[in-house]
Amino acid sequence: MYSEKVMDHFQNPRNVGEIENASGVGTVGNAKCGDIMRMYLDIDDNGVIRDCKFKTFGCGAAVATSSMATELVMGKTIQQALEVTNKAVMEALDGLPPVKVHCSLLAEEAIHAALWDYAQKHGIKIEGLEKPKNDISEGEEEEDY
Ligand code: FES
Residue type, 78: I
User: What is the average pLDDT score of the chain?
Assistant: 93
C-alpha 74: how far from its chain's center? 12
* Catalytic site includes residue 52: no
Closest CA to 88 of 110, 105, 113, 63: 105
Ordered structural domains, the chain, with CATH: 4-122 (3.90.1010.10)
DSSP 8-state code for residue 16: B
* Catalytic site includes residue 33: yes
Q: Give the model confidence (pLDDT) of 88-114 as tens digits.
A: 999 999 999 999 999 999 999 999 999
Residue type, 135: D
At residue 144 the predicted structure's pLDDT band, cuts being 50, 70 and 90, is very low
From the alpha carbon of 61, which atom of ligand 1 is closest? 2
* pTM of the full structure: 0.92
Residues framing ligand 1 (Cβ under 6 A): 30, 33, 35, 58-59, 61-62, 103, 106
Q: How many other C-beta atoms can be found within 10 angstroms of the C-beta atom of residue 145?
A: 11
Instruction: Tell me the best of 6, 9, 59, 99 to mutate to test the pocket of ligand 1, counting ligand atoms within 8 Å of each CB and taking the most.
Output: 59
From the alpha carbon of 106, which atom of ligand 1 is closest? 4
How does strand 49-57 pair with strand 24-30?
unpaired
- Is the torsion defined by CA of 11, 138, 144, 93 positive or negative? negative
